[in-house]
Amino acid sequence: MPTLILASSHPSAKTLALWVLAGFLGSFIFIRTSARLMRSPKVTWWPGSVTSGDLHIHHLVWGIILLLLCGFLGFGTEHVTPWTQVLAVLFGIGAGFTLDEFALWLRLEDVYWAEQGRDSVQAVMIAATFAGFIVIGAVPFPEGSAEAVIPLVILDLVVVAILLAKGKYFMALLSLFIPPVGWVGAIRLARPGSRWARRRYADNPKKLEKATVRGDRWDRRRRKFQDIVGGTPTDELEPPPSAEPEPDASKELEPAPSEELEPAPSEELEPARSKELER
């Protein structure tokens, strides 16, 4: 019985990580859905953004407040059920609200529905992947004796550094938990705009062209997935069809038949006619 009481009053680390991940994903799905409904002209009943006068309070503000509050309470209180799980969920909600506007607090301007706003979706994907590995019990580095682990850790860090230089950030994260994925990414071509490509592909046009083709193909797939998850940027949305038909330019150029185009009788002829009548 004491063992059961201890287990129920002190939740495990993986359990808390699962609660954080649930709150994180749930808040991100909710706030993205809310933003897309507010953006849609067909949904007029959905409430708008939180404002105070002319001030628009972004939801990352509420996320930061939740992160600070839950972080302080997590350090200042004992981990007992169910309050620790509640703090974990609230911490995850705060993280979801904050990372959903990652592009905004990275650039200090509202780019939520701009092309740069895709960075928020990518940041959420990276954070969710990392949290998922922690929940299932994966560790970034292998366990074992120091003689066997240290060389593997050094090799893994070198591979991660190469992937970061090649602009493959998501693959760099995966390589921490699945090293073979990183080995494949380190061997393949770098992304065309990365530091690796600028330094090593400048004198090799064929390799740069091949990297550009692969990068464009990957970007199309990534953007399509990001549009499904987070919504399409405003600049790429198709304009709504106009209710009024546009005037035909060809018809505007053709002069319409009008009586004004007929030459008016000259006023000088009238006096002559009157004189003829007088005769």
pLDDT of residue 270: 52
Place of tokens 């974990």: 88
Q: Is 257 exposed, middle or buried (0-12, 13-18, 19+ CB in 10 A)?
A: exposed
Chain segment 12-31, per-residue pLDDT in tens: 888 999 999 999 999 999 99
pLDDT (mean) for 106-121? 92
pLDDT (mean) for 240-263? 52
pLDDT of residue 113: 93
pLDDT (mean) for 219-225? 91
Least confident residue range of 13-17, 124-128, 136-140, 203-207: 136-140
Q: How far apart are CA 218 and CA 198, in angstroms?
A: 19
Q: Between 149 and 102, whose confidence is greater? A: 102
Q: Is residue 112 a contact partner of residue 103, using CB atoms and an 8 Å limit?
A: yes
Alpha helices in 77-145 (DSSP H): 83-99, 102-107, 118-135
Position 1 pLDDT exceeds 70: no
What confidence category does residue 245 fall into, taking pLDDT thresholds of 50, 70 and 90?
low
Running DSSP on this structure, what letter comes out for residue 115? G
Position 273 pLDDT exceeds 60: no
Q: Kindly give the interhelix angle for 83-99 and 59-76, rounded to the nearest 10 degrees.
A: 150
Which residues are 55's β-sheet partners? Answer: 52
Least confident residue range of 151-165, 235-249, 261-275: 261-275
φ, ψ (nearest 5 deg) of residue 145: -70, 155
Q: Is 163 exposed, middle or buried (0-12, 13-18, 19+ CB in 10 A)?
A: buried
Chain segment 30-52, per-residue pLDDT in tens: 999 999 999 888 888 888 788 88
Q: Between 204 and 52, whose confidence is greater? A: 204
Predicted TM-score of the model (pTM)? 0.76
Chain segment 163-187, per-residue pLDDT in tens: 999 999 999 999 999 999 999 999 9
